Chain A
Amino acid sequence: MELAHDLGGREGFGSVDVEPDEPVFHEPWERTARALVFAAMGTHPDPTTSAFRHAIERMDPGHYLASSYYEHWLTAAATIAVESGVVAPAELETRAGGAFPLARPAVQPEIDGTGTQRFEVGDRVRVVAAPHGGHTRCPAYLCDRTGTVTRVDGRFSLPDVEAHSTERVEEGTYGVGFSARDLWDDAEPDVVVHVDLWDSYLEPA
């Protein structure tokens, strides 16, 4: 399953649109939306960055791709506030005077995590993480690809578990380098893509 936010290597988006001398915020609503995320996260029973990211990732793919960054933040804030029970969807629509799209409900993935640190710098590793419908930080473009561990960063909480429960599985995370040509046949030559991955996403190659 490919999710809208998991964009690495996907085609058809055209050129990068750069705005010279861009302000920090373009409209007052953007700075309000940013702040509302912090307020809404205060109502979450287990407020982690993983839970926040997952609220954005659960947006309808069409809505995600058609809306700006701060609309993602607003949608996540409202979704979290609704799921925490502090506001109701009908109240939001009444106040807004129209539709107020929220993210879809979370699907609890079945993943335990390895909880270990199995790899060292120089090890060849294959990415085995299968998309499980929940939150993950393993980009889809790495599925079944082989790379080399270039850095060991210590143990961090596995997002796939943390986003969905109050449990924590701490495990090794690594910087892993991949030749772009091993990821896409038509990638440019002499490009190394470095991705930071949890132990659970990897197996020895």
Chain B
Amino acid sequence: MSTDHHHPAEPAPIERRVAALEALLTERGLVSPGFVDEVNRAYEEDIGPRNGAKVVARAWVDPDYRRRLLADSTAAIAELGFGGAEGDHMQVVENTDSVHNVVVCTLCSCYPWPVLGLPPTWYKDPAYRARVVREPRAVLAEMGCQLDDDVEVAVWDSSAEQRYLVLPQQPAGTDDLSEDQLAELVTRDAMIGVARP
């Protein structure tokens, strides 16, 4: 992929195809000016992993919220104002000393948009989707997350309507941090389950 955004000599074939379909759908009244921005802007500006991080931090500081989150994830996430497309049926899965959770969609790239935004490329690529169900420890180790041998791995293949969010373990020595400071520690990858905060 070209990284020169300044003066491409000629549009790539994929750019010409996108422009062709956009022009034809615009002429037929199916794409209005501003439509592309309208569809995407929220995911570029508002909806991303900071939402999920707020959910995790709340669960770390508030045991009652944690219980509600694990009992009815969709409702507890909605308490913080997050929900909508690809988040209507949420399942939060909790890491413990004995179980580590990791999320995938082997058939496409299902992902909890309201709490994590749009998925990163590696989550959508064949290597991750093919391998993480069969050799998750190896995949996680390659991504920098070593698991102890006595930890069971639970892999969640998002094949139907449920969307998954991993609740990581709170790092040791962070008990005196505020909820906002804790949220800063929570990464997208920790909530997919390929990293720890």
> A: which residues have CB within 8 A of B?
5-11, 13-19, 22, 24-27, 29, 31-36, 38-40, 42-43, 53, 56, 65, 68-69, 71, 74, 77-78, 81, 86-87, 91-92, 95-100, 137-139, 141, 151, 153, 156, 173, 175, 180, 183-184, 186-188, 190-198
Q: A25-B40, A92-B17, A156-B160 are in contact. Are A19 and B25 (CB under 8 A)?
A: no
Stretch at the interface among B53-61, B76-84, B122-130, B174-182: B122-130
Find the residue from A11, A22, A92, A195 having the highest chain B CB count within 10 A.
Answer: A195
- Tell me how many residue pairs across A and B have CB atoms closer than 8 Å: 216
Contact assessment for B143 and A35 in the assembled complex, using a CB-CB cutoff below 8 Å:
no
Task: Give residues 84-112 of B contacting A (CB, 8 Å).
Answer: 89, 91, 104, 106-109
CA distance A11 to B142 in the complex (A): 16
- Chain A residues near B154: list those with CB within 8 A: 191-192, 194
Known: A156-B160, A180-B134. 16 other contacts (CB 8 A): A8-B133, A17-B127, A19-B120, A26-B1, A32-B36, A40-B21, A74-B14, A74-B21, A86-B30, A87-B25, A96-B16, A100-B20, A139-B157, A153-B161, A180-B155, A192-B154
The one of B1, B30, B156 that contacts A39, using a Cβ cutoff of 8 Å: B30
CA distance A100 to B146 in the complex (A): 44
Total interface residues in chain B, CB < 8 Å: 67
- Chain A residues near B161: list those with CB within 8 A: 153, 156, 173, 196
- Chain B residues near A25: list those with CB within 8 A: 40, 44
User: What is the CB-to-nearest-CB distance from A75 to chain B, in angstroms, rounded to a whole number?
Assistant: 9
Contact assessment for A95 and B40 in the assembled complex, using a CB-CB cutoff below 8 Å:
no
Contact assessment for A5 and B39 in the assembled complex, using a CB-CB cutoff below 8 Å:
no
- Chain A residues near B31: list those with CB within 8 A: 35-36, 39
